Chain A
Amino acid sequence: MRKAIEVKDFSFRYRNASSSTLKRISFAVDKGSFFCIIGANGAGKSTLCNALVGLIPHYFVGRSKGLVQIEGVDVAKTTIAELSKTIGLVFQNPFNQLSYTAGTVAEELAFGLGNYGVPREVMHEKVLQVARLMHVEELLDKNPLDLSGGQVQRVAFGSAFIMEPSILVLDECTAQLDPLGSEEIFNIVKDLNSSGVTVVMVDHDMERVAQYADQVMVMRKGKVAALGTPREVFTNPRTPDWGIDVPDYVKLGRGLQSAGFDLDELPIDESHAVQTVRGLL
């Protein structure tokens, strides 16, 4: 099976920067999987996301080396517009993901379609579909600039998803939202993933990563520090060196171990922890 994303020895350095932001990154993402990228601030996570959707090298100026393939297509040889039909990007700041050309949410959702010359009837249909999926039907006639951050973020999701990409790249897309808004967004992400969309998510919520990720990649100073299943990554004793936190459940397990309990394996998520504790009682 062809991979959704394949990155080989990819390096990138912004113009005038003193050092490379990405250094020989290599990894692959399976189709339909939930792939998480974690790491300290400044590790190059956002830059990597930009490279996946083609903003590097087509928007950001700098020097790149190596290969990024999205569903077998070399990112450097196509355009961002062409790629957006395969891979969508949602990032942190909701209000920077508005086109600023729309007076209503409906127009905002339709912005991408209009750029591709999609006929109006199809547009109306797709806007309704996506609005239902993102729970923004009741906002369709509102001005996007009057909405809350969480609502705008759902609109941003809709605007990216209306192109029907098979891969979604989410760069800390819940970081600026309150817990409720964050929860709503994440539920949408889960639904999309279970309907077959490949998800690449940068996140700081380790409990969430441990629970949902198929694969976790740890980045540190522009390099891949570790890549594996959540269990492999979070139970690795070197996590403090990578500048990442581990889920509280792992800490609980370690605490239990050092208190003298004998555990078969460290718990990494909630259900697992419940099981472990139940086993001890």
Chain B
Amino acid sequence: MTRTIAALFSALSLGMAPALAQTATTFSTAAPGMPTQPSGQLGQPPNPNAPPAPATSTVRGHVFAADSGQPLRKAQVRMTSGELRENRLATTDAEGGYEFKEVRAGRYNISANKGSYVGVSYGQQRPTDAPKLIAILDNQTVERMDFTLPRGGVITGRILDEFGEPMSDVTVAAQQYQTVQGQRRLVPAGRQAPTNDIGEFRVFGVPPGQYYLVATWRSTNPMNTQEKTAYAPMYYPGTENAAQAQRVTLAAGQELSDIVMSLKPLRATRVSGTVVTSDGRPMGGFMMVMTTTGFGFSGASGGPIRPDGTFVVNGLAPGEYTLRAQSGGMPSDDSEIGVAKITATGDDITDLHIVAAKPSTLSGRIVSDPAIASALPAALQLMLSPIDPGTMPMGMGPTKMGSDGTFEMRSGPGRMRINVMGAAGWTIRSVRLNGADITDAGIELKASEDISGVEVEVTNKLTVISGLVTNARGDPVKDYSAIAFTQDRDKWKGVNRYQGAGRPDQDGRFKISGLPPGDYYIIALDKIEQGQSTDPDFLETIRIKATAFTIREGETRTLDLKINTAS
């Protein structure tokens, strides 16, 4: 679930970003003569246990509507810093003005949003641009950090069934092709909208661009229905084949109305069977039904499993599904979970037998790089993530951590990788089990199997790469993406810690930190699509033009680059 939400959130945050003009932002510092290098922290990660630096700076500006030029009141301006774990919000006043006071020095993303407008982040020229970071110094006042928000496009219409009756609970989305884990897929861009009781939908806040419209039906109550009909997703203007979908172009604030599509019925798949516990007893509880997509799960619904362990799932449209059975009661150490993947073809599936399992325990110790005397930060946490995105993360309770660095985690079966989170400036150095390095390969957890003796070594000696980018004439370039990726092709797919990206701050400087030591390529591109760098074929094409370099543990390197065009 978390996964779906995270994926949705990133899809939302990526989609909302149109062209905007950053109007003459001014920077002034109370202490003149301070170096203009963004944040004096390059190469020195903040010590998380040290008291936070005094917050002495101010950021203010206005938010305007692009179409009318009028100030936008009640807009939300958000200022976030991953490095500082800051997340602040301001609402514009009646004149469209906002202000952040007592801002700590650091690199921030700043974005503005308002209801039906398209959200804009600092540094975005186009909706698909990755946002830039802005470096805020101590005792600095940043004035006129203004945002001009284009009005979002609107798509309205109705969805009907084969009888011409309005259909409720159909999700309508404007989708765009994006590279996700190396594959081109249609993913929702911006908001989606459900149809109401009279079949109407209104998708709004759509950034200007070209889209495919898709209407997706999903059974709202798959555990209790007589429904024998399902519907496949339908693409505008009325095809079930994504390749035949018609692309629509939406300008800023444009309204595309009266889109009417009739969904075509299919025979729904009915799945019935039983769930038993690991010791073979009937298991009552709750069944969650999720659509399996290429990169995770979506559309969870579900219902109870009867006390005798039997269940019926009805109304499934053709597609891949994951059924997740959890034993009744409050989730506990003994909660058992069973997972089945099914393919619905219209054919009924009977006697599906799901055997649940107790979660496995993974335990061990966290050690810091022996070369560092520094103690482990208290906020440091471990996280297990499945290597195969189709593996359902299940039964994962929070990590139990001892003050001596011992840890215990619970997980369902599958191949899992261990990551650290929570402590800025710290990263995994290696993960070992019985002397073998399993940092990238992960650990294969079998159902109900416990694994102990895992050694997780963390370090705060991070690598840092920074630099400036110039064009063929030697002039500085202020808008680009710098991509650093490993020379080892085996790590181009799946393992993403060997890849980093940086966007210029207001001085044109990029910064990529935390890559494991090793041999890398780096390249500055004028533009890159979201997710494109997960595609090994794309990396192969840019590798030829890239600069090769090697970085040692804890090393800080400056690499000034020439701009390249992606095409």
- Chain A partners chain B: no
Contact residues of A with B, CB < 8 Å? none
